[in-house]
Structure 1
Amino acid sequence: MQTAACLGKLDAVRCMVEELGFDVNAGSQAGVTALAAAAADGRMHVMRYLLDKGADPNKPAHSGHHPLHHAAKHGRDEAARLLLSRGASIDVTYIGLTPLHFAAGYGMIGVMKVLLEHHADPNKVSEEGSTPLTEALHGTDSGVPESTSLKCVKLLVEAGADVNSANSETPLVIATRYGLTDCVKYLLKRVKHEKNTKVQLKSYAEKAIKRKDYHGASKFYTEAIELDPSDTTLYLDRSLCYLQMSEADKAVRDANTCIKLRPEWIKGYYRKGAALMSVEDYKGASDAFMSGLQVDPENAEMEKAFTEAVEGMKKDHLARKGSKPSD
């Protein structure tokens, strides 16, 4: 049935399903369904028939490829749109590669637009560390013209792709290695723009803090974090804003992010301890300060904070003990 579907032979497919009792979700020896075969060749009439008969738009082949992967790889815009309208998952993966990875890697701009319209993740990272943006650049090594790759890159960046991502190599490094002059120029411009924008946002936040406008400052830091979620200082500074706004839970959350991103940086532990002290969680605060001391045993400020947390814990314990009714 897969061959008939691939060739667009609807009468043959209908005969197999309705007269011979073929399962519309049965796979070939490789596990490829008739729906996936039809999607790869854009046989819309066959796809509609199969879907109406109960074909599963999310059934993968043995390899892990889904029908939407086939449509993306072969540039079948309408096939992708139909699959999505019938319940296909937008970010299904094959070794971590989504349909958007495939469309970008093969220079299939039309399918990319369809996928992005349906909110495909432009920053999804594959098992090998690639993103749709890096796949678009790697595609030139397989024969995709640089002009097409550049269009893919622009489309992804406009959709929110991170030009500074470095899961393996940054997009700029890849473009430079392949000698993609126009892509390099575009990426350099975007990197410079985002860097300047982040610097401006930090400057606005610092001015807001001087005015004691911590709510406003936190908003600027949030925007800066969206541009560069790997900048630990942004979380630390926003944590301080939340602390000043008496939002200790948010302050602790940002401090934890600091610790996760830079476990060797003592300031994250200090900020977490200070946030916990503000809500009189002395046990949690002492644990945070102790973790900081393990990183830097000679830090006097951390040692002092740890001592204060322990004293607070003792006083809290005595107060609780004293409040119990006597026998």
Structure 2
Amino acid sequence: MGTRDVPLPRLFKILHGEDRDRWPLEARFIAAAHNGDVRNIKKIAKELDVQGHGIPATVASTTYMGMNALHAAGGRGRLLAYQYLVEEVGMDVDKPDTAQEFTPVAHAVSNGCLPAVKYLLDHGADVHQQRSKGNIALLHTAAVLGYSEIVQFLLSRGADVDAISDLGTPLAIAALRGYASIVKILLQHNADPNKASCQFGPLSMALQKSSVSCMKLLIQGGANVSGDIAFDNPLVKAAEKGLTEAIKCLLEAGANPNVPNTFGRLPIELSAEYGTREDVEILFPFTSPISTMENWSVDGIISHVKMEIKQLEDGNFVKERMSDLKQQADEAFKKQDYPNASLFYTQALKMDNFDSKLLSNRSLCWLRMGDGQRAYDDATKCKRQRPKWAKAHYRQGAALMFMKDYASAYSALSRALELEPENEEIEKLFWEAMELR
């Protein structure tokens, strides 16, 4: 529980009880600052000044729970309190608290107080400041909390519209939260609609939230709808969520319905399982026939998918089918028939999409066929499932080497070698990556 979760006075009541007179003086002091009560700030500072340093010095130096008076003043954002603390006491407008690393202006942003934000920036606060934990800038904070007026103001003061943090870009954050008004503002200020964060772009973030309004704004702003990356395919996400309007919009924008997800399932198959008949009908004219489906029609696709689901509920069928597919895949791989091997691995993954060995093997197939991106996608999925499996990191490193991203390959292979230090194959590629980076 932190100061952003519970207003300070309420937090202090939880910690110290209802009777304010029994709170520690420092807590009462910070609560007075939170309320913007300059008279009470001075009064309590006088009680705290047992060594006679004077009220201004005591006001400047008094902290509680890592916060000083200027951090707490963001609670109500009363400008008289800011004027006293900054102009008379001379407190540092860029000093972070020790609890969350929030500066005074970051506290003002998180409390949604635009006048306080304006005042602090006018008095020297840095609009580009970032928390070291997570690289979170002021714009990220305003975007994640939905404060559109503060977003607009920060941009007018030169905030970096595409700043990257652990949360993503401000645009990705706004899209994930479904804040269409903020998405629109950021795009008007030339935010990059294709800048990925955590490997997912703003368009995928919007669809994750099922925000069709954000999705439309992003497409108008130039977002890539192609879905070339399996795990970041917007049409797949729309189909999985049954977002009929989004499917229509993506197809009109040129999205490719023949790009499968990580487990080899096309958007039309996902619509048959998760969406409606209408979704299947919309996708049908744009989708190339699937060879394993005998009856290529809307009814045939729906029946086929329903039959697959029923079969997956039969444990014996799944076990026998998986064994057969793995055997066919391995035989094809030994013959260096990588296209068919990858096809069999894909069919097996439809039955068990958590089989990391299948992902690892298919990643190698893609690599042998010269498709570094798909090899990387499978290796990344494999690594997420088994983060302590050396081969997953090795496969990712090999894919990155193929794509000539030697610095990232070195990092992946370093982790692989750390997990399996005696593996000569990993060690050889690791040294190669280190030389090339």
AA matched with 1:21: G
Gaps of 5+ in 2: 1-69, 259-367, 372-437
Partner of 1:185: 248
Superposition TM-score, scaled by structure 2 size: 0.41
AA matched with 1:12: A
Q: 1:72 aligns with which of 126, 143, 161?
A: 143
Which gives a bigger RCO, structure 1 or 2 (Cα 8 Å, sep 6+)?
1
Partner of 1:56: 126
**Residue 25 of structure 1: how far off its partner (Å):** 0.7
Q: Is the 8 A contact 1:35 1:50 kept in 2?
A: yes
Distance 2:160 2:193 in 1: 15
TM-superposition CA deviations, 1:85-111 (whole Å, max 9, x none): 212111111137110011111111111
Tell me whether 1:27 sits opposite 2:96 in the alignment: yes
TM-superposition CA deviations, 1:251-270 (whole Å, max 9, x none): xxxxxxxxxxx9959xxxxx
Q: 1:162 aligns with which of 182, 206, 224?
A: 224
Tell me whether 1:175 sits opposite 2:238 in the alignment: yes
AA matched with 1:59: Q
* Structure-2 change in CA distance of 1:175 and 1:2 (3 Å): farther
Question: How many aligned residue pairs are there?
Answer: 191
Q: Is the 8 A contact 2:171 2:183 kept in 1?
A: yes
Distance 2:114 2:255 in 1: 44
* Structure-2 change in CA distance of 1:194 and 1:5 (3 Å): same
Q: Is the 8 A contact 1:69 1:102 kept in 2?
A: yes
AA matched with 2:101: G
Superposition TM-score, scaled by structure 1 size: 0.54
Q: Does 75-84 or 8-17 show the bigger shift?
A: 8-17
Distance 1:113 1:8 in 2: 27
Q: Please give the residue correspondences for 1:216-255 in structure 2 after superposition, counting only pairs within 5 Å.
A: none
AA matched with 1:116: L
Q: Is the 8 A contact 1:6 1:40 kept in 2?
A: no
* Structure-2 change in CA distance of 1:56 and 1:179 (3 Å): same
Q: Please give the residue correspondences for 1:1-327 in structure 2 after superposition, counting only pairs within 5 Å.
A: 1-28=70-97, 29-61=99-131, 62-95=133-166, 97-126=168-197, 128-140=198-210, 149-167=211-229, 168-191=231-254, 264=370
* Structure-2 change in CA distance of 1:24 and 1:166 (3 Å): farther
1:191 alignment partner, SS class: coil
CA RMSD of aligned residues (A): 2.6
1:152 alignment partner, SS class: helix
1:58 alignment partner, SS class: coil
* Structure-2 change in CA distance of 1:194 and 1:58 (3 Å): farther
Identity among equivalent pairs (%): 38
2:93 alignment partner, SS class: coil
TM-superposition CA deviations, 1:282-326 (whole Å, max 9, x none): xxxxxxxxxxxxxxxxxxxxxxxxxxxxxxxxxxxxxxxxxxxxx
Distance 2:369 2:92 in 1: 54
Q: Is the 8 A contact 1:96 1:125 kept in 2?
A: no
2:209 alignment partner, SS class: helix
Q: Is the 8 A contact 1:90 1:99 kept in 2?
A: yes
2:208 alignment partner, SS class: helix
Distance 1:78 1:194 in 2: 38
**Residue 84 of structure 1: how far off its partner (Å):** 1.3
Distance 2:369 2:127 in 1: 43
**Residue 193 of structure 1: how far off its partner (Å):** 9.2
Q: Is the 8 A contact 2:134 2:166 kept in 1?
A: no
Distance 2:189 2:225 in 1: 21
Distance 1:114 1:6 in 2: 26
AA matched with 1:65: I
* Structure-2 change in CA distance of 1:97 and 1:46 (3 Å): same
